[in-house]
Amino acid sequence: MTLDERFTRDFRETRGDQPLGTRNEIVTGPVSDWATDFSHLEPEWAADPYPIQDDLRQRCPIAHTDRFGGGWLPTSYEDVAAIAYDTERFSSRSIIMSNFRPPRELAPVGGTPPISSDPPFHHDARKLLLPVFTKKEVARREEATRALCHSLIDAFEGRQDVDAAHEYAQHIPMRVIADMLGFPQEDGPRFREFIENALEGVNRPPEERMERMALLFDYLLAQIRDHVDNPRDDLTTYLINAELYGRKLEPSHVAGTMALLLIAGIDTTWSAIGASLWHLAKTPADRRRLVAEPELLPTAMEEFLRAYAPVTMARLVKEDMHWNGVDMKSEDWVLLSFPAANRDPAQFEQADEVVIDREVNRHVAFGLGIHRCVGSHLARMELRVALEVWLERIPEFTLQDPAAVTWAAGQVRGPRTLPLRVAYA
């Protein structure tokens, strides 16, 4: 098979003879008791999940739900870490808790390798990406990222009222990832739509969800074919040419990894930037201190990542088992709430407070175990530069109306709208 032939047909058309996976009834509406009926997609969770998690940690450390076909929510650092490291009993073949479980046969590759991959395949799939995300490679992107941040502020400078999510935070990783993948910068609005469909559209009817996800892979296949015809020095061409076990990657592997980078590489980082700006807008003492002591920013940034960790991952239970006091069934979901782990008082002093000069901070915002975020150096650079430029250009800012801030529902939580009143330097 030549390089071109891999992508002449839509790889999804060749999956007709594969098992279809299982669907369950979609259950929505108010939660009756977070210990027995939790849902990370309800408005109360999106608005403020921390009191819910704190309450569960005290009275029901591993909550359960019958929604999504059955699942569990551990809330202690110890339990989250134990599951994250246990690849023998928990599979990553689907990392978005939804009303659909992909067939077991999808393991060990999964639909979006390497994050959806189980050992031993995971190690080799992840290794392919490591050279792209080294500190050295990331450092090459800092100057352009800083220029982008300045240009975004230039575009609204002079206005007192700014939506820091829509007009600043969300653009930064969209442009950086688009540049890495070699995608048109003007496609940013489409990326927003893809992200919302993948992460917040979990409870949509299955036909609608499939149609919306198909739009993402239609787009990716078009980009892949364009890169086959017009190779260039970017991550898409790198994946097209990459080899594993002496062979070029399967088309589904190339497209799945691109989907992962597009969605996980954008939403997580814009959520971290937005949450950090939200905190500083409502906490003038911290904001003034960082303006006066910019050298403290790297330490403060790690505390923002701990306190407002955006990402929760999912696992699937491989076989029926009794685990830490609960009876887990095969194919039950487990939500790995890194935000809950980061606020466990058994692990962190003043766990529910944001301490911007916290010296010891072994947070798990980037995950634990074999699936720890491969792009953590990139995310840290984007977050640091975004905050440095903002504080340099806009040292004074407050929330226009705290009630007007909206947060994403689902497994990546960050401000979707962040209306600020700003004053320029």
Q: How big, in percent rounded to 5, are the helix, strand and coil portions of the chain?
A: 50, 15, 35
Place of tokens 């999504």: 68
User: Each residue of 302-319: pLDDT tens digit?
Assistant: 999 999 999 999 999 999
The answer to whether the beta carbons of residues 310 and 364 sit under 8 Å apart is: no
The answer to whether the beta carbons of residues 347 and 367 sit under 8 Å apart is: no
Please give the pLDDT value at position 7. Answer: 86
Please give the pLDDT value at position 13. Answer: 67
Please give the pLDDT value at position 8. Answer: 81
The answer to whether the beta carbons of residues 45 and 75 sit under 8 Å apart is: no
The Cα 20–Cα 347 span in angstroms is: 41
The answer to whether the beta carbons of residues 274 and 407 sit under 8 Å apart is: no
Please give the pLDDT value at position 16. Answer: 54
The Cα 281–Cα 217 span in angstroms is: 38
Cis ω before 74 (30° cut-off from 0): no
Is the Cα torsion angle 315, 172, 380, 408 positive or negative in sign? negative
Query: Model-level pTM?
Result: 0.96
> CA angle 141-280-386, nearest 5°?
10
Please give the pLDDT value at position 206. Answer: 87
Q: How many Å separate Cα 83 from the centre of its chain?
A: 19
Q: How many Å separate Cα 408 from the centre of its chain?
A: 11
Contacts for 31-39: CB closer than 8 Å, 24+ residues apart: 34/63, 35/59, 35/60, 35/63, 35/64, 36/63, 36/64, 36/65, 37/65, 37/66, 37/67, 38/63, 38/64, 38/65, 38/67, 38/73, 39/65, 39/67, 39/68
Phi-psi map region of 410: left, alpha, beta (phi>0 left; psi -120 to 50 alpha):
left
Task: State the DSSP H helix or E strand holding residue 3, giving kind and residue range, or none if neither.
Answer: helix 3-6
The Cα 94–Cα 316 span in angstroms is: 7
**Nearest one of 302, 322, 336 to 412, comparing CA atoms:** 336
The Cα 43–Cα 30 span in angstroms is: 9
The answer to whether the beta carbons of residues 108 and 124 sit under 8 Å apart is: no
Tokens coding 139:
């450092």
The Cα 174–Cα 271 span in angstroms is: 12
State whether residue 108 is helix, strand or coil.
Answer: coil
Structure letter (DSSP) for residue 245: T
Please give the pLDDT value at position 44. Answer: 96
Tokens coding 359:
């010296």
Please give the pLDDT value at position 12. Answer: 67
**Nearest one of 54, 40, 64 to 324, comparing CA atoms:** 64
The Cα 159–Cα 30 span in angstroms is: 39
* Cα Rg of the chain (Å, integer): 21
**How many helices (DSSP H) and strands (DSSP E) are in the chain?**
16, 16
Which residues, 6 or more positions from 33, have their beta carbon under 8 angstroms from its beta carbon? Answer: none
Please give the pLDDT value at position 4. Answer: 61
State whether residue 334 is helix, strand or coil.
Answer: strand
For each of the domains in the chain, give its residue range(s) and CATH number, in order of start.
5-423 (1.10.630.10)
The answer to whether the beta carbons of residues 405 and 417 sit under 8 Å apart is: yes
Per-residue pLDDT of the chain (425 residues; tens, 9 = 90+): 445 688 887 776 655 556 689 999 999 999 999 999 999 999 999 999 999 999 999 999 999 999 999 999 999 999 999 999 999 999 999 999 999 999 999 999 999 999 999 999 999 999 999 999 999 999 999 999 999 999 999 999 999 999 999 999 999 999 999 999 999 999 988 999 999 889 888 999 989 998 999 999 999 999 999 999 999 999 999 999 999 999 999 999 999 999 999 999 999 999 999 999 999 999 999 999 999 999 999 999 999 999 999 999 999 999 999 999 999 999 999 999 999 999 999 999 999 999 999 999 999 999 999 999 999 999 999 999 999 999 999 999 999 999 999 999 999 999 999 999 999 99
The one-letter amino acid code at 328 reads M
Please give the pLDDT value at position 244. Answer: 97
Of the chain, the end-to-end C-alpha distance in Å amounts to 59
Q: How many Å separate Cα 398 from the centre of its chain?
A: 26
